Amino acid sequence: DGGITQSPKYLFRKEGQNVTLSCEQNLNHDAMYWYRQDPGQGLRLIYYSQIVNDFQKGDIAEGYSVSREKKESFPLTVTSAQKNPTAFYLCASSPWGRDLNTEAFFGQGTRLTVV
C-alpha cells in the first residue's frame, strides 16, 4: 500500500542533544513537508521541499535542519539550538507542479519529549 511513514512514534531526547526524525513516502510525491504541532494548537510549517536536493524554510525553521537526498525521504533533525523542542511532529507529502492541486497526505506523527 502507498503511504507515508514516520518513525519513531515516540522519541525522548536529553537536553543538548540533536535528534533525527524519519519520514519516508512511496506515493511518488515530489513535495514533502514538516510541521510542528503543540497541544491544542494548529500546524506550523518548519521546512518543505519541492524537489530532491532543494528545500525551503517554513515559518519556524530556527533550530531545525533537513535534507532531501532522495525523493522518498525527508528527515528532520531537531538540534540543540531549538529551545523548546517538545512537540508533536508531522510529516506530509503531496504532488507538486504548476497545474497540480496540492492534496497533502500526512504520516502518523512523532511525539518528541525532552527529558
Residues interacting with another protein, by CB under 8 A? 6, 31, 33, 35, 40-43, 45, 48, 59, 88, 90, 92, 94, 96-109, 111
At closest approach, how far in Å is the CB of 77 from another protein?
A: 20
Cβ proximity to another protein: between 14 and 98 the closer is 98
As a whole number of Å, the end-to-end CA separation of the chain is 36
Exposure of 76 in the CB half-sphere (CA atoms within 13 A): 35
**Smallest distance, another protein to C-beta of residue 86, A:** 15
Give residues with Cβ within 8 angstroms of 109, minimum separation 6: 6, 9, 37, 88, 89, 90
Q: Which is nearer to another protein, 53 or 101 (CB)?
A: 101
With H, G, I as helix, E, B as strand and everything else as coil, classify residue 9.
coil
Nearer to another protein, 16 or 39 (CB): 39
